Amino acid sequence: MQYDFFNNDFVNVTPNNIKPFVVGTDITLSFSEVYQRFNELKKCFNELAYDKNSPVIIYGEKQANYAVCIITFLHLNIPYVAVDSIMPEHRVKVIQETTQSKVLINLSDISLESVNASIIFDKELRLTKNTETVNHIDVDLSKENLAYILFTSGSTGVPKGVQITRKALNNFIKWFVNWPIQSKDLVYMNQATFSFDVYLCDLVSAFHYGSLLVLNDLQTLKTPELFLQRFKTYQATTLFCTPSFISMYLTLPEFNQTNYPHFKHITLLGEDLPAALVRKIRKAFPDLKIINSYGPTEATVVVTYVEVSEEILSLDKAVPIGYVKPDTEILIDNESKNPTEEGELIIVGDNVSIGYSNRADLNSEKYFIHNGKRAYRTGDLAYYKGDLVYFNGRMDSQVKLNGYRIELDEISNLLLKHSNVSNAATIPLKVGNTVKKIVTYISVKNSTDFDANDILKNYLKELVPVYMIPSEIIVLPELPTNSNYKTDKKALLDLYINR
Kindly compute the dihedral angle of the four CA atoms of residues 140, 146, 151, 154, in this order, to the nearest 10 degrees.
Answer: -60
DSSP 281-309: HHHH-TT-EEEEEE--GGGSS--EEEE--
How many domains, in total, are found in the chain?
A: 2
| Residue 221 belongs to domain with CATH number | 3.40.50.12780
Give the closest residue to 263 by CA, choosing from 254, 255, 271, 253.
Answer: 255
The length of the chain in residues reads 499
In a domain, 17, yes or no: yes
Nearest to 331 by CA among 365, 386, 291, 370: 370
Among candidate residues 307, 322, 342, the one where a domain is terminated: 307
Same domain, residue pair 153 and 25: yes
Please tell me the distance from the alpha carbon of residue 292 to that of residue 279, in angstroms, as a whole number.
13
| Residues 42 and 147 reside in one and the same domain | yes
Question: Residue 387 domain-assigned?
Answer: no
Same domain, 65 and 208: yes
* Helical (H) or strand (E) element with 421: strand 421-431
Residue 189 belongs to a domain: yes
Residue numbers of the domain that contains 19 = 2-307
175 occurs within a structural domain: yes
Q: Is residue 339 part of a domain?
A: no
Q: Tell me whether residue 282 is in a domain.
A: yes
10-residue averages of pLDDT along the chain (499 residues): 96 94 97 98 92 90 97 96 93 93 95 93 96 59 78 78 96 96 95 93 98 96 94 98 91 96 96 91 97 97 96 90 97 94 96 93 95 96 96 84 86 90 90 87 87 92 92 91 74 88
β-sheet bridge partners, residue 399: 406
SS3 content of the chain, % helix, strand, coil (to 5): 30, 30, 40
Same domain, 102 and 229: yes
Sheet holding 434-444, edge to edge: 421-431, 434-444, 472-475
- Per the domain annotation, does 235 fall within a domain? yes
pTM here is 0.86
- 176 & 286 share domain: yes
User: Other C-beta atoms within 10 Å of 481: how many?
Assistant: 12
Say yes or no: 438 and 301 in one domain: no
Q: What type of residue sits at position 202?
A: D
Letter for the amino acid at 295?
G
Contacts 24+ apart (CB under 8 A), 452-458: 455/420, 456/415, 456/418, 456/421
Show which of 307, 330, 356 is a domain's final residue. Answer: 307
Q: Is residue 312 part of a domain?
A: no
Name the strand (E) or helix (H) holding 40.
helix 31-47
Q: What is the CATH number of the domain that holds 445?
A: 3.30.300.30
**Where among 251, 276, 307 does a domain terminate?**
307
128 and 246 inside one domain: yes
CA dihedral (338, 342, 348, 354) positive or negative: negative
- Rounded to the nearest angstrom, the gap between the alpha carbon of residue 303 and the centroid of all alpha carbons in its chain is 14
Paired strand residues for 355 = 163
Strand partners, 277: none
